[in-house]
Structure 1
Amino acid sequence: MFRPTYPIRTARLALRPVALDDLDDVHAYQSRPDVTRWMLDAGPRTRAQALASVTAMAGEDALRAEGDCLALAVVADARVIGTVELVWRSAADRTAELGYVLHPDHHGRGLATEAATALLDWGFGEFGLHRAYARCHARNEASARLMARLGMRQEARHVESYLFRGEWADRLVFAILAREWRERQPPQG
């Protein structure tokens, strides 16, 4: 089992497991159309749907087996402002998929980059990933910019590769290798 030492701290944030007590904060952003616009499940979430989401994420505090998701609350000023996650896609290939969502009130300050960086640091460090990738709808420019800020390169544009709200959509795939991640990091000491 692989579990970070909690909380993972950054200059402005703490990353920790999601708890049932986070429902109000999570519902505050999951209920917004501008947050759910690019999510596969249609539309803003009701409180009951947000509770189901929080309940599922509350059990995702470690990577125990291939396919597991590590979902962490992004906490700023004692409030959950979003989540970051790593999904263990392949043990043999040491690969995981990065995901993230942040309340729009906190956009534009580098907080999503800070949170994702901290999770990738753990993934490439303690967890021993070789490769991390992330995907987004081709029109989700903000997500693509975030992946680029993380140093991920665009590896693919899958044309009309999935049904998104009844229409065929293009998907962008970005990735970074452990050695590339280490080369981007400032020297320690």
Structure 2
Amino acid sequence: MFATSLGDDGAELRPLEPWRAEEFLAHMDRGREFVGQHVALGDIVTDLESARRFLQTYADKAAADAGRIYGIWTDGKLVGGVLFRTMDVAQGTAEVGCWLEPSAVGRGLVTRAARVIIDWAVEERGVHRVEWHVSAANEASIAVARRLGMTKDGVLRESFLYRGKRQDIEVWSVLAPEWRTGGRRGAL
């Protein structure tokens, strides 16, 4: 089984595949309200079938080289994840996303996991621009973008309707040359 260590604390990054739907659903059940504050994942994955369907969507994206999803495990328990929501290798662009359940907050897991997948995208797949789209109200996720050495490109004002309310979305990015000279090592 493929797993990448995220440090000395035993945290690991692994592909999150459809056969893990039950584990993924249990994880969502533990963190649904917390995750759902800013990310629609908690509203999308509500039962075993929707969990399987969501993971299959990313398996299909991986097969088409158009996206990927990875889980973050600590002590053998799925506690969050990172993904390439979109990936266009021909254009050299990708959008990274993340989520985490409350028990895993404050340990730098998302930052470490995002570094692994961004490094892979830049160095192995030749991606030139990696984006991070985040609700302007999601301070924790904005802090991750900063730690990754990303630059705030701008704000898409009231561009995303979420749970009946219009959200401002900040767009952050890092370019391959910037990543190679500093993003990998950004502050933890």
Q: TM-score, normalised by structure 1?
A: 0.82
Question: Over aligned residue pairs, what C-alpha RMSD do you find?
Answer: 2.5
The answer on 1:120 being equivalent to 2:118 is: yes
Contact 1:30-1:36 at 8 Å conserved across structures: no
Q: Deviation of residue 79 (structure 1)?
A: 1.8
Higher helix share: 2
Contact 2:35-2:42 at 8 Å conserved across structures: no
Number of equivalences = 179
Tell me which residue corresponds to 1:94. Answer: 92
Between the aligned partners of 2:151 and 2:63, the Cα distance in structure 1 is: 25
Contact 1:81-1:102 at 8 Å conserved across structures: yes
Between the aligned partners of 1:41 and 1:140, the Cα distance in structure 2 is: 15
- SS in structure 1 of the partner of residue 38 of structure 2: coil
Give deviations 1:19-70, integer Å, cap 9, x for gaps: 345334422342321111212367484333334334434x2583634xx221
Between the aligned partners of 1:140 and 1:87, the Cα distance in structure 2 is: 18
Contact 1:36-1:44 at 8 Å conserved across structures: no
Between the aligned partners of 1:103 and 1:41, the Cα distance in structure 2 is: 12
The answer on 1:138 being equivalent to 2:136 is: yes
User: Unaligned regions of 5+ residues in structure 1, if any?
Assistant: none
The answer on 1:38 being equivalent to 2:38 is: yes
Tell me which residue corresponds to 1:76. Answer: 74
Between the aligned partners of 1:73 and 1:115, the Cα distance in structure 2 is: 9
Contact 2:27-2:101 at 8 Å conserved across structures: yes
Q: 1:13 is matched by which residue type in structure 2?
A: A
Tell me which residue corresponds to 2:168. Answer: 170
Between the aligned partners of 1:45 and 1:85, the Cα distance in structure 2 is: 15
Tell me which residue corresponds to 1:10. Answer: 6
Tell me which residue corresponds to 1:159. Answer: 157
